[in-house]
A and B are shown apart, each in its own frame.
Chain A
Amino acid sequence: SQQGEEDPQALSIQEGENATMNCSYKTSINNLQWYRQNSGRGLVHLILIRSNEREKHSGRLRVTLDTSKKSSSLLITASRAADTASYFCATDSNSGGSRLTFGEGTQLTVNP
């Protein structure tokens, strides 16, 4: 079963707008990570937030984590056409060791 589930499945915005993607998960976690995948390529690690953190920033990325709701959001500000990609959240469980479980992703399209 999917540990992480992203919402929405697809998002289309104009360049310059902000994009928000959400992720929900089911079991307790140590941390939650966000990855980006360009079409037909491997995933690239974007940002990690620990279970005791509520918000984290990296450049134009802002991630929040609400462990009481078992949810996270990824905000990309001032989006660019080059941000067009699929975005995945990944979680580890408290008992899962170093293995990650990925959600099904949000396909983001940024129109120039």
Chain B
Amino acid sequence: DGGITQSPKYLFRKEGQNVTLSCEQNLNHDAMYWYRQDPGQGLRLIYYSQIVNDFQKGDIAEGYSVSREKKESFPLTVTSAQKNPTAFYLCASSIFSDWAIYGYTFGSGTRLTVV
């Protein structure tokens, strides 16, 4: 069954800690994306990657970091520099050349809470 998997589903972070959210896809998609969603709001783009070993900042990249060492994986690290990290984080992927036909495939999300 092809899909995109985010883990963990729930994550708790102490003040000052870095945490890493996992995103893995077996769809052979070229492009991967990280979005942040706050309660009752839309999605804001954090980082995206269209090819292995390359990624670009989105609209709210400060306090976050990513890597794209493998096509299947696009982990997101929420660093201590992110002052308000409590949110729902969504990972998505797309076929780069056909994304405009099929749209994005989303994972089921990770809910991060600062305690």
Which residues of A are at the interface with B, using a C-beta cutoff of 8 A?
2, 4, 30-31, 33, 35, 40-45, 48, 50, 88, 92, 97-105, 107
Contact = CB atoms under 8 A, between A and B. Distances in A.
B101 A99 contact: no
Contacts of B43: 43, 88, 102
B104 A45 contact: yes
B100 A30 contact: yes
B12 interface: no
A30 B99 CA distance: 12
Contact of B102 (A30, A35, A45, A103): A45
Given A43-B90, A97-B50, A99-B33, A48 B108 contact: no
B4 to A, nearest CB: 8
20 contacts: A4-B42, A35-B103, A40-B109, A41-B108, A42-B6, A42-B90, A42-B107, A42-B109, A43-B43, A43-B90, A43-B92, A43-B106, A48-B100, A98-B48, A98-B94, A98-B96, A98-B100, A101-B45, A102-B43, A102-B44
B42 A43 contact: no
Given A48-B100, A97-B50, A98-B94, A104 B41 contact: yes
Contact of A43 (B40, B101, B104): B104
Contacts of A92: 100
